Amino acid sequence: MVFSRADSDMTPQTTTVLVLYHAARAPLRTAIADHLYAVDRFGRCRTLYINVAVRSIPSWVTRLGVDLIVFHTTLLAQRWQPAVFRGVLSKLRRLKNAQATKVAIPQDEFLRTDQLSEFLREFRVDHVLTCAPQSEWHTIYGALADGPTTFHQVMTGYLHPGSVNRIATLAQSAGARKVDVAYRAWQPEAWLGRHAQLKGTIAEAFERVAPAHGLSTDISLRDRDTLLGYAWFKFLLEARWTIGVEGGASIIDHDGTLRDRTLAYVREHPEASFAEVEAACFPGQEGSLNLMTISPRHLEACATRTAQALVEGEYNGILKPGIHYLPVKGDLSNLGEVCLAMRDEQLRDALAERAYADVVASRRFEYQGFADLIVSMAGRRSAARRSVLGSVLFAWESRLDRVSWLWVDIRQNLRGAIRNVLDAVGLLPRIQRIRGMNVETRG
């Protein structure tokens, strides 16, 4: 999980990696794109990418000397939609008996973990790059945690050198930091448990308390206020402080029934409190999982030298209270003291500079190390002979990823046009109701 620059010469150029992913919409968020293409940009190996949302697996792929097959997060996330995931699996079965080493990179390991474990068994996955701490591997994966599958803890995302350089450029023209406390998040779903609720609770609490201590705020949980890419970096560069909590969940939902039950209950009782939803849908489940992890936004705050006031936690052992962030108690009982401390500019500067030095300048948490870790897993070499025909097919296949993105864009625009027509003639709500009923039935 913590990578050293000294590890970066472990993999030969001849390693061939096939990355399988699922992207039905374009463009990807910057953080997702950086994660997806990390092997291609930093792995120093031959790479093939296949978007199974728009393509099938060609029969000749296993003849191209593939040493490593990576099942990316975007592909494994389709288990949120069981009907879609079944279609994905039907495309992947061509690779079930492939001799290449297989690596899975799941995230959101609190939901439909039975499906995830079944996939790992069926495809005989050799390595799992999990965001969960070792203490939770048995809870999530059961007997798989004992082998033969090998588990490695990683983070949900890392720093991209290009983004760090872009932030440095933006900082030169950013001017003075105008906002004292800035934050963006979404209202967390109840079925994620009490820990996830802190994302919303901390926003509401600071919005209420901070102005009374002379602090200006720019805090929102509304979807329309979401910021992406460079707009997010600029937002952080304009703020003295940002607030937050570890990502993750405190409830495990092995088959998705807790989520489905909760969504149905909330539809019928939209004004219900979290306590009411918990009592009705998942009583006694709180604490069944302890999946807490640092998120890319914490690293990005370090890169923009924006000081952080965070709910106390582990943060993968990277961010430490009083050294890299101002600690907020889990029950938010010290919010007044935290707000007073936020007015101290020397404290702010000290926390931000230490976080930058230890997290960003050290270069220990960049995608280079993540890519090296993945490629180093290609332990057994492919038996496929790299013939002239194979080289031609590889060159052809390696260029098709760009074409697939064009097709994603065309399909997206076509669907948008059809949606607008259906909406204009009044059929869209009826079709959405029918589709919703079908999804619930199939799920």
3-state DSSP assignment of residue 327: strand
The CATH code that applies to domain 5-158+366-413 is: 3.40.50
DSSP string, 166-184: HHHHHHHTT-S--EEEEEE
Between CA 18 and CA 398 the distance in angstroms is 10
Residue 80 and residue 109 in contact, taking contact as beta carbons nearer than 8 Å: no
3-state DSSP assignment of residue 227: coil
Res 349: pLDDT: 98
Query: Could you report the per-residue pLDDT of 157-200, keeping only the tens digit for each?
Result: 999 999 999 999 999 999 999 999 999 999 899 999 999 999 99
Written in H, E and C, the secondary structure of 381-418 is CCCCCCCHHHHHHHHHHHHHHHHHHHHHHHHHHHHHHH
Cα dihedral 405/411/415/418 (nearest 10): 140
Res 397: pLDDT: 84
Between CA 401 and CA 189 the distance in angstroms is 34
CA distance between the termini of the chain: 35
5-158+366-413 and 161-252+290-361 share one fold: yes
Nearest to 125 by CA among 158, 157, 92: 92
**Mean pLDDT per 10-residue run, the chain (443 residues)?**
41 79 92 96 94 92 88 97 95 92 97 97 97 97 95 97 96 95 94 95 97 98 91 97 97 97 96 96 96 96 98 97 98 97 98 98 98 89 56 82 89 74 69 52 36
Q: Across 52-153, where does the E strand assignment appear? A: 68-71, 101-104, 127-130, 150-153
Res 8: pLDDT: 40
Q: Which CATH superfamily is domain 161-252+290-361 in?
A: Glycogen Phosphorylase B; (3.40.50.2000)
Domain ranges in the chain are 5-158+366-413, 161-252+290-361
Peptide linkage before 270 cis (omega within 30 of 0): no
Amino acid at 202: I
**Which tokens hold the place of 54?**
């728009």
3-state DSSP assignment of residue 124: coil
Strand partners, 70: 19, 103
**Which tokens hold the place of 408?**
């994603």
Res 126: pLDDT: 96
Residue 443 and residue 83 in contact, taking contact as beta carbons nearer than 8 Å: yes
Element (DSSP H or E) covering residue 248: strand 247-249
Element (DSSP H or E) covering residue 420: helix 388-424
Query: Could you report the per-residue pLDDT of 67-116, keeping only the tens digit for each?
Result: 999 999 999 999 999 999 999 999 999 999 898 999 999 999 999 999 99
pTM for the whole structure = 0.90
Element (DSSP H or E) covering residue 233: helix 229-237
